[in-house]
Chains A and B, each alone.
Chain A
Amino acid sequence: MSDQTPIEKIKYGLLKTIDVSGFKVFDPVVRLFFGEEPRKQLGDISRYMIAPIIFVCCCMLFWNFIAPRHKTKSGEVPTPKQVWNALVTNDTLDERENEKESDFQLSDEQREDTIATVTALVAEREKKSEELKAELAEIEAQCKKEQGEALEPLNQALAQLKAENKKLRESRAAESAKISKAIAAKEADPEKLLEYLRNDSEMTLAEKDSEKELKDKIKKIRDEEPKRLKAAQLASSQVANEVQHLKKRLDYLSTGNRSQKVAQAEESATKALGSLSSADSPAAILAAAKSVVKSEQRASKISEQEYPRAATIWFQVWRSLFTVFVGFVLAAAIAIPVGIMCGLNRIAMACLTPIISVFKPVSPVVWLLIFQIIVGAFFPNPDTHPLFVFLNGLPWIGALNVNPALIFSACTVAMCAVWPALVNTALGVSSVEKDHLNVAKVLRLGLWSRLTKIIIPSSLPLVFAGLRISLGVGWMVLIAAEALSSSDGLGKFVWDEYQNGSSHSFANILLACFVIGIIGFFLDRFMIVLQRSVSFDDGAATV
């Protein structure tokens, strides 16, 4: 190993990293880069990289083809492009929240500078907006005209058809009246009238159908929005949106700004102080003093205020990850010790088997409701509860707004994720090689060193395999729990979009589907790396 050239060292280091991180697909790329058997590597690349990429592209094309052809209550099924746009839109929303937050916190010169730039930007955008609006109006007029031209003959035809049909109906009514008169005079058979009326209703139906056909045609043309009109509308609304956002920023830079608000409160405090010194009657003095104290309190309260951030998708992602982490840690903290106990002691195993068997198949939804009730009872007043006050005071976690909903979502995750880890840990501990236990017996190792030196290391691979399954289960359960409990996170994002039902909702739901999937994939990969780094069979433990 020591006679490797530096390049070889880099190469094999890189290959090892790829191998450990579970991205073995890139192995031939690295080898090709270092010029090792290019033919073989190219073959491998085309087999294991290009073929899957082509397949995924085919799937996307199929999706793109089939999506617009299925009409639903909430509009067309979004195409890949629309989902991508949804991602961009959500990202923009997040960025705008960032801007507003920093605007809210700015003070002094920086604030004034920003006001200047934003004002200039608003002027520019407004001009653009006006232009686009004019353009839009023009296009609209044009389209309307075109539409009118297209509709004109159809409308005429419809009117004509209606008139004709009316005439026909009237004539048939007259005819039937005539027949019934004849029947009354016993000049005709009643059967004839029935025959005629049956015929009549059929004809009426046919006439109505032809009318309806024409009406549908008209409606379709009326509903149709030309592409250029759509594009113009989109462009105009986008700029209008931006203008609105910039104005909101100005608001946060001026009257809504924290430093401004504080200054205002302080000013009113000094004013009150002034009136206190000039007041003469006891009642006035008391009132003035009260108002001084109030203003001071208000100023200090405002200076601690944070920007009320709207929940964007990235915030939801972080909150979901935090929740699943809490739940997973909770599950591991229960599963590993209990699993070790079960693996070591057959009585413990026998005691826990019925509990595991009964609770394992229970749906996460049921757990959620149970924990909602139980956890809720611990925090009757969550805003002032020391746990939440402490957690929300922490630098990173505080931004995630920890509340009881997060706690019981995490509990639900833990409850559902605990089983695979527990069962695997028990299996790992109980299946330690007998030879290794004999070694421990001969050496007369105590319980503690037997646990730490032999049992735990030898069961670690299985423990981590269980934890990996647990994390997967936890992530899946979490989304459902969040949707049901309205705990902020990706699940709530999906649920809100579903309830919201705007034109972007469906695209946002599909976007969330991909985000959830990709995060789940990386969580799994992370656990594989952990698992491999503790398993000793393939020599990975030496890394």
Chain B
Amino acid sequence: MSSNDRRYVEIANLTKAYPNPFGRDIEVVKDFNMILHKGEIVSVIGHSGCGKSTVLTMVAGLNPISSGSLAVEGREVSGPGPDRAVVFQSPCLLPWMTTLENVMLGVKQVYPHGSKKERKQICEYYLNLVGLGDSMKKYPGEMSGGMQQRVGVARAIALKPQMLLLDEPFGRLDSLTRMDLQDVILDILDREKITTMVITHDVDEAIYMADRICMMTNGPEASVGQILEVPFSRPRVRSDVLDHPNYYDFRFALISFLEKQEHSKEAHDQMIEEKLRQPEPPALVEAKVVADSLPASGASF
């Protein structure tokens, strides 16, 4: 199989421009080039406001492109569809529906000919997969943010998508919940082999989850700065990843890239903070503790 055949998403010279009533159009993203292979997990990292989400929404078809080309499975993207499931930063559950009904909403669209019972079984299967087997009758208002995001993931996966687009899915969660959910998603992705694009601004998350990391330059006119291959084997075990001799090299590469991009003072401060965490990163300590206390989370792959 040549590498050409494995291409799933092809993005070439992608540009997004927003009209500016008092001057030239503002090009948020310009000449963005990237190829995603089938079954690959790619994370896109960059400073906030650099246009990561714009790229993702364009791939999802929620946002029309200005110029360039964007093809999924060899076809130009013309609009959204259930073949490209999206998990948004906020869970986006419909608060007047139970967990089950929220997942059912998508399942009904994808399996229009299935019987009611079959559809329900599908919903229950995916809800069990994200560990919500006992919360199917609950309303979103009765659940924590982490649980709501799990429902969001279940709703996306239940569509049997060819591609999964994750838009900072853990952005609003605390670090413990975040690691839990990262493992849940990785577990599912290892089983289903779905091509995935993860937007994040967390360096550790990017390394842990992705096969390749796409680093974006700062906007406007953001494009791909560097691409980093992450050669860790799958399924991934958090403690192994953290103990890997190259882990800190990757981390350093990412941070130094991001630092270079940084000009404004505010984000500069953030960088210093990041540096201070370097010798003994607290998130890492946390991660280790969790990995120790929950051996099953790693061993279950």
Contact = CB atoms under 8 A, between A and B. Distances in A.
B26 interface: no
A444 to B, nearest CB: 6
B295 interface: no
A445 B96 contact: no
Contacts of B79: 441
B106 A536 contact: no
Nearest to B142: A539
Given A453-B105, A542-B139, A439 B94 contact: yes
B109 interface: yes
Contacts of B81: 442, 444
B82 A458 contact: no
A443 interface: yes
Interface in A43-63: none
Interface string B92-130: 101111000000011001000000000000000000000
B80 A442 contact: yes
A444 B96 CA distance: 20
A539 B92 contact: no
Contacts of B139: 536, 539, 541-542
A80 interface: no
Best-surrounded residue of B62, B85, B142, B159 (most CB of chain A within 10 A):
B62
Interface residues of B, number: 24
B142 A542 contact: yes
A462 to B, nearest CB: 14
B82 A444 contact: yes
B95 A536 contact: yes
A442 B94 contact: no
Contacts of A441: 61-62, 79-80
B88 interface: yes
Contacts of A457: 94, 96-97
Nearest to B81: A444
A442 B109 CA distance: 10
A541 B96 contact: yes
B78 interface: no
B197 interface: no
B60 interface: yes
Nearest to B98: A542
B94 A436 contact: yes
A435 interface: yes
B92 A443 contact: no
A357 interface: no
B86 interface: yes
A444 B61 CA distance: 11
Interface string A441-463: 11111000000011001101000
B6 to A, nearest CB: 25
Interface size class of A (residues with CB under 8 A): 10 to 19
A381 interface: no
Contacts of B142: 539, 542
Contacts of A458: 94, 96
B141 interface: yes
Given A537-B141, A539-B139, A539-B142, A438 B82 contact: no
A447 B97 CA distance: 19
Nearest to A446: B109
Contacts of A460: 96
A536 B82 contact: no
Interface string B219-231: 0000000000000
Contacts of B159: 443
Contact of B141 (A442, A443, A539): A539
Given A457-B96, A458-B96, A442 B90 contact: no
Nearest to A542: B139
Contacts of B88: 435, 438
Contact of B82 (A435, A442, A453, A537): A442
Nearest to A441: B80
The secondary-structure label for the interface of chain B is: loop
A442 B105 CA distance: 11
Given A438-B86, A442-B82, A444-B80, A537 B109 contact: no
B262 to A, nearest CB: 30
Contact of A438 (B92, B105, B106, B141): B92
Contacts of A454: 94
Contacts of B92: 435-436, 438-439
A427 to B, nearest CB: 18
A539 B106 CA distance: 23
Interface in A520-543: 536-537, 539, 541-542
A188 B105 CA distance: 119
A458 B92 CA distance: 12
Contact of A453 (B61, B84, B90, B94): B94
Nearest to B89: A435
Contacts of B60: 442
Contacts of A542: 139, 141-142
Contacts of A435: 88, 90, 92
A453 B80 CA distance: 18
Contacts of B141: 536-537, 539, 542
A191 B178 CA distance: 116
Interface in B54-96: 60-62, 79-82, 84-86, 88, 90, 92, 94-96
Interface string A406-440: 00000000000000000000000000000110110
Contacts of A537: 95, 141
Interface string B128-144: 00000000000101100
B156 to A, nearest CB: 8
Interface string A304-322: 0000000000000000000
A458 B88 CA distance: 19
Contacts of A442: 60, 62, 80-82, 84-86
A161 B158 CA distance: 110
B162 to A, nearest CB: 13
B138 to A, nearest CB: 9
B94 A443 contact: no
Contacts of A444: 80-82, 109
B258 to A, nearest CB: 28
A522 B89 CA distance: 44
Interface in A83-142: none
B119 to A, nearest CB: 14
A443 B106 contact: yes
A452 B141 CA distance: 20
Interface in B191-233: none
A291 B79 CA distance: 86
Contacts of B95: 536-537, 541
Contact of A443 (B61, B90, B105): B105
Interface in B174-192: none
A160 B187 CA distance: 120
Closest 9 CB pairs of A and B: A435-B92, A457-B96, A536-B95, A536-B96, A441-B80, A442-B80, A443-B109, A443-B106, A539-B141
7 contacts: A438-B80, A439-B92, A442-B80, A444-B80, A444-B81, A458-B96, A537-B141
Interface of B: 60-62, 79-82, 84-86, 88, 90, 92, 94-97, 105-106, 109, 139, 141-142, 159
Given A441-B79, A441-B80, 15 more contacts: A436-B94, A438-B92, A441-B61, A441-B62, A442-B62, A443-B105, A444-B109, A453-B105, A457-B94, A458-B96, A460-B96, A537-B95, A537-B141, A539-B139, A539-B141
